[in-house]
Amino acid sequence: MKQHYVLILVLFGMFLLPAQAETPDEKGLQIATEADQRDQGFGDSTATMHMVLRNKRGDESSREVRVRTLEIEDDGDKSMSIFDAPADIKGTAFLTFSHINKPDDQWLYLPALKRVKRIASKNKSGPFMGSEFAYEDISSDEVDKYTYKYLRDETWEGMECYVVERDPVDKHSGYTRQVVWYDKAEYRPQKVDYYDRKNEHLKTLTFHEYRQYLDKFWRGMRYEMVNHQTGKSTTLSWKEYVFRSGLTDRDFDKNTLKRAR
Amino acid sequence: MGKSYGEWLVRWRYLVLVAVIASVAIAASGARFLTFKTDYRVFFSTDNPQLQAFEQLQNTYTKTDNVLFVLAPKDGNVFTQETLASIIALTEASWQIPYSIRVDSITNYQHTEAEGDDLTVDDLVPDAGQLDAGGLERIRNIATNEPLLVNRIISPDGRVTGVNVTVQLPDPEEQTGKEVPKVTAFARNMVDELRAANPDLDVYLTGMVIMNNSFPEVSIRDQQTLVPIMFAVVVITLVLLLRSFTATIGTFLVIVCSVLTAMGIAGWLGMALTPPSASSPTIILTLAVADCVHILVSFLHAMRRGLDKTGAMVESLRINLQPIFLTSLTTAIGFLSMNFSDAPPFRDLGNIVAMGVMAAFFISITLLPALMLILPVRVKPGATNHSRRMDNFADFVVERRNFLFFAVGFIVVALVIFIPRNELNDEFIEYFDKTVDFRNATDFSSENLTGIYTIDYSLSAGESGGISEPEFLDRVEAFANWYETQPEVLHVNTLTDIMKRLNKNMHADEPEWYRLPDQRNLSAQYLLLYEMSLPYGLDLNNQIDVGKSATRMTVTVKNISSNEMLALEGKAQEWLHENAPGMRADGASPSVMFAHIGHRNIRSMLTGTSVALVLISLILVVALRSIKIGLISLVPNLAPAAMGFGLWGLLVGEVGLGLSVVTGMTLGIVVDDTVHFLSKYLRARREQQLAPPDAVRYAFSTVGTALWVTSLVLIAGFMVLTQSPFKLNSDMGLVTAITIAFALIADFLFLPPLLMKVDK
């Protein structure tokens, strides 16, 4: 009889062990961490971002922004956006120190006013320059900004992908959850579904034309965001990516905002 | 023809019975496809210019379908910890409403404040729990002085506030009909919970979504109350008139089958129900009675005269087949004239009723006689009181024909001169009477917080980014200021208020900087800054187009009539023409759409009614084989509607969408009386060579009873419609009932004297 009990226990253990080894939460976190790891060490980057906004009627409008990013260890990245077009906001510069557990520090230089303004706002969920991208959609992806849950494997556009749900930690986020498709080959996000506060599908972001820089860092050259509720959409195109051009903290200082060109 | 048909029917009565019931069953099974439309836009055809303008505006910015919670604390003060906490909770919960894309309240209002070179953007009330008296007072001051909020989200005295939820429903083509009820049920549940949690708060629920949901609700209420009443009226009348159980059962079956057939075919054809088209069962029910009454009165009359059942039915069909066919055809044509209406629900109503009328014709010449032949029918022989009374009445008309001719003629003219007193008005809130919750909530909101009638303008600067041009902003502000001074206006939502506030914030909140920025770059950069600081759902996309080339201005007005609405918009157009020709834009909104719909419909229905009149007159000329009589018939055919609208002008004086279709519709109905009377009159003149006075007597004695009974049923039927909580239906019912009453008067008191004068 005793031997039977042992056998049953062993059998139970065999079923339980793999599940204990990796819960969906752990696997999700592991995938997100791996994706983050693979992008670490880029140092700094600059690029030009071209935005095309479209409304339901098909009217279009475009914006152009140069973006400089400085990688910061153990915190969110620092970034500087310099607006080039339309002409009436040319020279406007936006500096962000993004943080994981507290509101970002944000400064904006308004050339027409010749002043730097600090913006104290918890909001990252509003539209960026009137587009379908929220500021939180394009600010730096830090692992700790979300909790994760691995959902399934799935083939998307011919790529084997991990499908991972991530829930924003920030209660001011505009989303209840996001579902991300990472390709298994390179752990690059290929697609993100955004779910609004009532957990309904709001937007879909897809990444296109991935290019590798410095034999390591992948960047999508084109982002397509579609808002399913309003019928509006935005295309982001990236050009002129340069890595490790030697940017330092001094280039991301609010006192240098005015001189940002 | 009628006789041989009667004999054919007698032979094949069982087969006919089975065939008709089977056909009805097949047709009726289509009723399962019927759905209710829950969108006020169904009242507008796709090529309606006002609808197109509004759709274009919505596609440029965002949609404006909304749910508005109106909150009135019993202590008369919104600015208490408890009430503000309730508003915060309600605002949070409102993001969970299906299809919601935006929630505006005083607590999540994005207040901007400057401190040196720091700009703070935050909810006006992030947390109510920590507010002391000073904090509450500060919030009251900000809220009740903010032009974006006052008379929109908060009343100037701080007694009533609102939480406005913008809802983006799928495109009408993609809607399944469940979206609006889902949103409404969710919102109502929230209201219940709010009332339970906070008994000191009065809560009202309004907005375009709630209105949309009220359409099927009133339709269903109509079905549940009006149809049974109508059945009761019909049965009582029939029992009294026919005094035959079998005849009553037969008639009852005919009208049920007619309604089922018409509604079933409507389902097969994919029609959707709206309050106007949902009243078709009541109307079909009413109209179907007439056919049966004519056949049964003659049939029972013949049996009382001593004919056997078969002989009596053959005789009845012989004398009735043609007039019933004619009257059904003309009635159908009258209803089909509604196809000229600009409002699709009335086209559906016309088509469904026309189908019902034709179904009633076929069923009452097949199923009804077959049933009568199969079931036992007993009558007491001998003349009835009815016909004796009719004979006396005929004598009176013949003797006093001159007096009647002038007296009735005078009444006609006296009523007709009041027609111009009718004014067009389509206030869509008043489509619902005060038994409908939505109406009461909306009235409360209009009186205490904000109106539901708006006019929207998409003001274009003409170039990308042009909304930041100081000159353009100045023009927009001047236009907004002009609107603010109009007495009908409650609120003007304009970008310039935001720009002024930002300019002040950028200058350390110095009050003298509360003015428009004087450089384009400055405005553009303020907007960039502001947009980046707004949270999800509270962006400016509802006010600025993607190219920043145009801005939307929304004017909220009090409950004004559609004429006042059009006048106000007309004045605004003049102002724009004189002061800002470059940014001219038509006002577009549901209110503007409804303000135009009466005009558009009356114009289109004039064509429709004329076509129907010509067709019907031609049919009468051919059927009666006399151009002269055909022309004479025009008088009793047209006079009733004219008299009806004259009386309406005298008593009410307000016409709208619902009444624009009445003339065409009643034309087809009132013609029936004329047809029956004239066909009997001519039969007497031609077959029996009687002189006009005796022919009139003959006509009265043969169809007089049937005419007044059918008219009575029709009047009762349309009076039942007046009990509808939906004004389009109740007004239509009342004017139609009045018109039918006048038609009876015209046919009994005016047509005979006219015939005796003209037909010599």
Residue ranges in B272-419 assigned as alpha helix (H): 275-278, 280-304, 309-336, 344-374, 385-399, 401-416
Cis before A189 (ω within 30): no
Nearest to A130 among B96, B122, B544 (CB): B544
Summarised one tens digit per residue, pLDDT across range B53-82 is 998 888 888 877 899 999 999 999 999 999
Question: Where is average pLDDT lowest: A19-23, A208-212, B100-104, B274-278?
Answer: A19-23
CA distance B318 to B296: 13
CA distances from B226 to B232, B252, B254, B280, B725 (A): 10, 16, 19, 11, 11
Residue ranges in B95-207 assigned as alpha helix (H): 133-144, 179-197
CA distance B731 to B750: 27
Least CA distance to B532: which residue of chain A? A128
Q: What is the dihedral of CA B134, B154, A126, A191, to 10 degrees?
A: 130
Nearest to A59 among B524, B531, B545 (CB): B545
Residue among B208, B64, B53, B47 nearest B587 (CA): B53
Query: For residue B413, what pLDDT is reported?
Result: 94
- Across A126-130, B304-308, B332-336, the highest mean pLDDT is recorded for B332-336
Out of 1.20.120.790, 3.10.20.30, 2.50.20.10, 1.20.810.10, the CATH code matching A25-259 is 2.50.20.10
**What's the whole-number mean pLDDT along residues B202-220?**
91
- Judged against a pLDDT cut of 80, whether residue A4 lies above it is answered with no
Q: Are B699 and B681 in contact (CB under 8 A)?
A: yes
Question: Where is average pLDDT lowest: B132-141, B235-244, B471-480?
Answer: B235-244
Query: For residue A8, what pLDDT is reported?
Result: 59
- Judged against a pLDDT cut of 90, whether residue B297 lies above it is answered with no
Summarised one tens digit per residue, pLDDT across range B484-516 is 999 999 999 999 999 999 999 888 888 899 999
> Any CB–CB contact under 8 A between A200 and chain B?
yes
CA distance B270 to B264: 10
Least CA distance to B544: which residue of chain A? A130
Nearest to A117 among B117, B464, B538 (CB): B117
Categorize the per-residue pLDDT at A255 as very low, low, confident or very high, splitting at 50, 70 and 90. confident
- Pairwise CB contact (< 8 Å): A113 & B524: no
Instruction: Tell me the shortest Cα–Cα distance from A186 to chain B, in angstroms.
Output: 32
CA distance A104 to A119: 9
Summarised one tens digit per residue, pLDDT across range A22-46 is 799 999 999 999 998 898 888 899 9
Q: What is the ipTM of this complex?
A: 0.85
Summarised one tens digit per residue, pLDDT across range A191-230 is 999 999 899 999 999 999 999 999 989 999 999 999 998 8
Mutate to test the interface with B, among A51, A53, A113, A177 (most CBs of B within 10 A): A113
Q: What one-letter code names the amino acid at B260?
A: L
User: How many beta-carbon pairs below 8 A join chains A and B?
Assistant: 154
User: Which residues 109-138 of chain A have a CB within 8 Å of chain B?
Assistant: 110-113, 115-123, 125-130, 134-135
Query: For residue A1, what pLDDT is reported?
Result: 44
Contacts of B97 in chain A (CB under 8 A): 198
Instruction: Tell me the shortest Cα–Cα distance from A6 to chain B, in angstroms.
Output: 52
HSE (side-chain half, CA atoms, 13 Å) at A213: 22
Least CA distance to B121: which residue of chain A? A121
Nearest to A110 among B120, B525, B536 (CB): B525
- Which DSSP helix (H) or strand (E) runs through A235? strand A233-243
Residue B27 makes CB contacts below 8 A (sequence gap 6+) with: B260, B261, B264, B265, B268, B359
DSSP code at position B76:
S
> How is residue B257 written in tokens?
């089958």
- Across A57-61, B9-13, B143-147, the highest mean pLDDT is recorded for B143-147
CA distance A127 to A130: 5
Q: CA geometry: angle at A68 spanning A66 and A70, to 5°?
A: 170
Query: For residue B1, what pLDDT is reported?
Result: 52
Categorize the per-residue pLDDT at B664 as very low, low, confident or very high, splitting at 50, 70 and 90. confident
Categorize the per-residue pLDDT at B390 as very low, low, confident or very high, splitting at 50, 70 and 90. confident
> How is residue B365 written in tokens?
């010449």
Contacts of A120 in chain B (CB under 8 A): 118-122
CA distance B244 to B250: 10
**What's the whole-number mean pLDDT along residues B551-577?**
92
Summarised one tens digit per residue, pLDDT across range B608-655 is 888 988 998 898 888 888 888 888 888 888 899 999 999 999 998 888
- Pairwise CB contact (< 8 Å): B59 & A230: no
Contacts of B467 in chain A (CB under 8 A): none
- Which DSSP helix (H) or strand (E) runs through A175? none
| DSSP 3-state of B251 | helix
User: Which residues 42-101 of chain A have a CB within 8 Å of chain B?
Assistant: 53-57, 59-61, 83, 86-89, 92, 94
Residue B15 φ/ψ, nearest 5 degrees: -60, -45
User: Which residues 8-47 of chain A have a CB within 8 Å of chain B?
Assistant: none
**What's the whole-number mean pLDDT along residues B540-569?**
90
Nearest to B121 among A88, A113, A119 (CB): A119
Query: For residue A154, what pLDDT is reported?
Result: 94
Query: For residue B728, what pLDDT is reported?
Result: 84
DSSP code at position B707:
H
Residue A48 makes CB contacts below 8 A (sequence gap 6+) with: A64, A65, A66, A67, A84, A238, A239, A240
Categorize the per-residue pLDDT at A261 as very low, low, confident or very high, splitting at 50, 70 and 90. low
Nearest to A89 among B525, B536, B541 (CB): B525
**What's the whole-number mean pLDDT along residues A138-164?**
90
Mutate to test the interface with A, among B513, B529, B538, B544 (most CBs of A within 10 A): B529
CA distance B732 to B738: 10
Q: CA geometry: angle at A139 spanning A133 and A140, to 5°?
A: 140
Categorize the per-residue pLDDT at B600 as very low, low, confident or very high, splitting at 50, 70 and 90. confident
Query: For residue B747, what pLDDT is reported?
Result: 92
Query: For residue A18, what pLDDT is reported?
Result: 47
Nearest to B528 among A54, A59, A89 (CB): A89
Summarised one tens digit per residue, pLDDT across range B417-466 is 999 998 888 888 888 999 999 999 999 999 999 988 999 999 999 888 89
Instruction: Tell me the shortest Cα–Cα distance from A136 to chain B, in angstroms.
Output: 10
Contacts of A229 in chain B (CB under 8 A): 99, 101, 168
Q: Are B533 and B98 in contact (CB under 8 A)?
A: no
Nearest to B546 among A54, A110, A113 (CB): A54
- Pairwise CB contact (< 8 Å): A121 & B56: no
**What's the whole-number mean pLDDT along residues B282-291?**
88
Query: For residue B170, what pLDDT is reported?
Result: 83
Query: For residue A17, what pLDDT is reported?
Result: 47
Mutate to test the interface with B, among A88, A198, A199, A233 (most CBs of B within 10 A): A88
Looking at every residue in chain B, the average pLDDT score rounds to 90
**What's the whole-number mean pLDDT along residues B552-575?**
92
**What does DSSP say about strands A189-195 and A201-213: parallel, antiparallel, or unpaired?**
antiparallel
Query: For residue B35, what pLDDT is reported?
Result: 86
